[in-house]
Chain A
């Protein structure tokens, strides 16, 4: 559980309409980590490893976990705009950013809006782009637990699986998931989990080094979405981690971190 490796501190980020939680750990260059559709997953092994090399900044987006909801925000791009304002306020620029799943979409929106703010971009199993082949898994018509189960190729082999998907989730855990699902539905119910204009806007990322990565057996976001990201972002590279589903950072953390830290160097 998070407490075991709780070498992070939680800071409060004040924005005009509320407060956000931000977890911070480590020294070095800032690395902004953006969580996915169920909220912050807990302080996992990959957070710990990354914080050995970077100053990891892991916020909870508005409306997720303990961060205040912004009633006016109805699109992922709205949240992207909020984060860019926060980075302005923190006087951060040229930073590295990594987003997971729906957080990958958020990261892509932020980068498209303000590419100069970032030095490197990692999109992990990013939602946000409509695949021409296949469909993004419908997490609103399935339970959070079902979604998590579907996110791994071989749950039995995953060390941290019991952390991410407890066999008997506590009411508090259920509540975190439901709060996250509700906020995700507020942002991405229709069109479901994509922005039809995003591929066109991503062409702006000519000079931003971008890595698109997921599990080779990802059954949440079709490979075709990754292909379109790859083709839309000039010079981006695509990496697939074998024997992993949608969450390679948890299912194959060593393979994942090897590729990612090499890219982020």
Chain B
């Protein structure tokens, strides 16, 4: 079992009017950054980095970051900058990017170089996830949505090649062209940093991940549709001639632990407060229908079982109450004693090899997050590891998602050998 920590890093500004249980709901891409308070922004960036350091100290295996653009609910618009800092200020945990928004990069050689640099400085702790991004990412960087999926696939192929094959080489693709690819930084890990694919909606991407044998992480989706989406992956894996197991699956959901049941509930309710977040059920804000219909962004006929739920949430039409989310375990809160069996239920239901606890979000304060991280480290993480062992839920770092074989036997290789071994 691989256990990661995640928060969207919300821009929490009580003065903004877009904050708290009684705050105005935000309509996507309609809030001017004129209200942005740089002093507050600076404090928040540092707070979220401090929390990541503490999460590592408390025993989390992974420090997960994501990226969104032009939206108060997520301050992480340059995930590689945050990851670069973590590379130097942490020492054990993997830095899990879920992920870089591939299609919005017009020059993915920058990604080849930036991510390899992070892998260098962190001494091989980078887990490099990709996403297609939401409509707001395409709008913010003016990336053509109708070519989003083509650009995603081509950028992935290009990056893997640039990481694994000796340069210089040429790349004459449909969307990207280079005549001299020879970056003077190579990944520390061999053959390259592990890739993960997070998602909620696209059948294309889950099938693609299964074909590439890349672990798939479902993001805060409801349990049954999540299980069904994992089935889509498993069926594709069978078609490809391999058996997908826990090492191929990850799940992110909201978990908050506190000192008493009362305090845990009081704080967990803050998940659905704070700046509206289209991915945070119960506080999605007001949908921007034009964003949901960004032309060509998503294939209209190829969606996952979770899509109806996810897109409805994004549309604000299916705002699920805090109580409903608690009932179906998509929000888990309590003391360590009461939280552990609920986590067990999720692990039994979905059988993921990697989990990411989404915490410290919405209107939660730094102190709220630090208490939860401490209790997780002291009591929850050890118990979850035991449960995972009992349920036989190996992560993609223990069992190779491509082969289903344990990594134990594999020798660690030095960076010197990388250049001599082309191919993925």
Partners in one complex: yes
Distance, CA A190 to CA B151, complexed state (A): 15
Please classify the interface of chain A as helix (H, G, I), strand (E, B), loop, or mixed, using the class held by over half of its residues. Answer: helix
Cβ A141 vs Cβ B290 within 8 A: yes
A59 to chain B, nearest CB (A): 21
Stretch at the interface among A6-14, A82-90, A176-184: A176-184
Chain B, range 38-90, C-beta contacts under 8 Å to A:
none
Chain A, range 186-230, C-beta contacts under 8 Å to B:
186, 189-190
Chain A, range 109-161, C-beta contacts under 8 Å to B:
140-143, 146
A112 to chain B, nearest CB (A): 24
**B293 touches which of A143, A184, A186, A190 (Cβ 8 Å):** A143
Chain B, range 116-138, C-beta contacts under 8 Å to A:
none
B149 to chain A, nearest CB (A): 12
Cβ B139 vs Cβ A141 within 8 A: yes
Cβ A178 vs Cβ B300 within 8 A: yes
Distance, CA A262 to CA B145, complexed state (A): 42
Cβ A181 vs Cβ B295 within 8 A: yes
**Is A164's beta carbon under 8 Å from chain B?**
no
Contacts of A140 in B (CB 8 A): 290, 294-295
Chain B, range 245-293, C-beta contacts under 8 Å to A:
289-291, 293
**Is B178's beta carbon under 8 Å from chain A?**
no
Q: A141-B139, A141-B290 are in contact. Are A182 and B296 (CB under 8 A)?
A: yes
**A186 touches which of B147, B290, B291 (Cβ 8 Å):** B147
Distance, CA A175 to CA B301, complexed state (A): 11
Contacts of A142 in B (CB 8 A): 290
B189 to chain A, nearest CB (A): 35
- Which of B139, B144, B147, B295 neighbours the largest number of chain A CB atoms within 10 Å of its CB? B295
**Is A50's beta carbon under 8 Å from chain B?**
no
Distance, CA A141 to CA B139, complexed state (A): 8
B150 to chain A, nearest CB (A): 9
Distance, CA A228 to CA B268, complexed state (A): 59
Chain B, range 130-171, C-beta contacts under 8 Å to A:
139, 142, 144-147
A139 to chain B, nearest CB (A): 9
**Is A22's beta carbon under 8 Å from chain B?**
no
Chain B, range 282-326, C-beta contacts under 8 Å to A:
289-291, 293-296, 300
Chain B residue at minimal CB-CB distance from A145: B289
**A184 touches which of B142, B147, B291, B295 (Cβ 8 Å):** B295
Distance, CA A186 to CA B297, complexed state (A): 11
Chain A residue at minimal CB-CB distance from B175: A74
Cβ B142 vs Cβ A185 within 8 A: no
Chain B residue at minimal CB-CB distance from A144: B293
Distance, CA A146 to CA B294, complexed state (A): 14
Distance, CA A184 to CA B291, complexed state (A): 16
Distance, CA A186 to CA B145, complexed state (A): 8
Contacts of A175 in B (CB 8 A): 300
**A189 touches which of B146, B290, B291, B300 (Cβ 8 Å):** B146
Contacts of B294 in A (CB 8 A): 140-141
Q: A141-B139, A178-B300 are in contact. Are A189 and B144 (CB under 8 A)?
A: yes
Distance, CA A182 to CA B297, complexed state (A): 8
Q: A141-B139, A190-B142, A190-B144 are in contact. Are A185 and B296 (CB under 8 A)?
A: yes
Distance, CA A63 to CA B223, complexed state (A): 38
Distance, CA A185 to CA B145, complexed state (A): 8
Contacts of B289 in A (CB 8 A): 143
- Which of A140, A143, A181 neighbours the largest number of chain B CB atoms within 10 Å of its CB? A140
Q: A143-B289, A186-B147 are in contact. Are A178 and B142 (CB under 8 A)?
A: no
B45 to chain A, nearest CB (A): 29
Chain A residue at minimal CB-CB distance from B294: A140
Contacts of B291 in A (CB 8 A): 141
**B146 touches which of A143, A146, A182 (Cβ 8 Å):** A182
Cβ A185 vs Cβ B144 within 8 A: yes
**B144 touches which of A141, A181, A186 (Cβ 8 Å):** A186
Distance, CA A146 to CA B142, complexed state (A): 21
Distance, CA A182 to CA B291, complexed state (A): 13
Q: A178-B300, A181-B295 are in contact. Are A186 and B146 (CB under 8 A)?
A: yes
Contacts of B144 in A (CB 8 A): 185-186, 189-190
Cβ B296 vs Cβ A143 within 8 A: no
B94 to chain A, nearest CB (A): 36
Distance, CA A190 to CA B147, complexed state (A): 12
- Which of A178, A184, A189, A190 neighbours the largest number of chain B CB atoms within 10 Å of its CB? A189
B141 to chain A, nearest CB (A): 10
Distance, CA A30 to CA B48, complexed state (A): 67
Contacts of A143 in B (CB 8 A): 289-290, 293
- Which of B145, B289, B294, B296 neighbours the largest number of chain A CB atoms within 10 Å of its CB? B296
Contacts of B296 in A (CB 8 A): 181-182, 185-186
Contacts of A185 in B (CB 8 A): 144-146, 295-296
- What are 5 A-B contacts defined by CB distance under 8 Å? A141-B294, A142-B290, A178-B300, A184-B295, A185-B296
Known: A185-B144, A189-B146; 18 extra A-B contacts, CB below 8 A, are A140-B294, A141-B291, A143-B290, A146-B290, A178-B293, A178-B295, A178-B300, A181-B293, A181-B295, A182-B295, A184-B295, A185-B146, A185-B295, A186-B146, A189-B142, A189-B145, A190-B142, A190-B144
**B-to-A contact residues, CB < 8 Å:** 139, 142, 144-147, 289-291, 293-296, 300
**A-to-B contact residues, CB < 8 Å:** 140-143, 146, 175, 178, 181-182, 184-186, 189-190
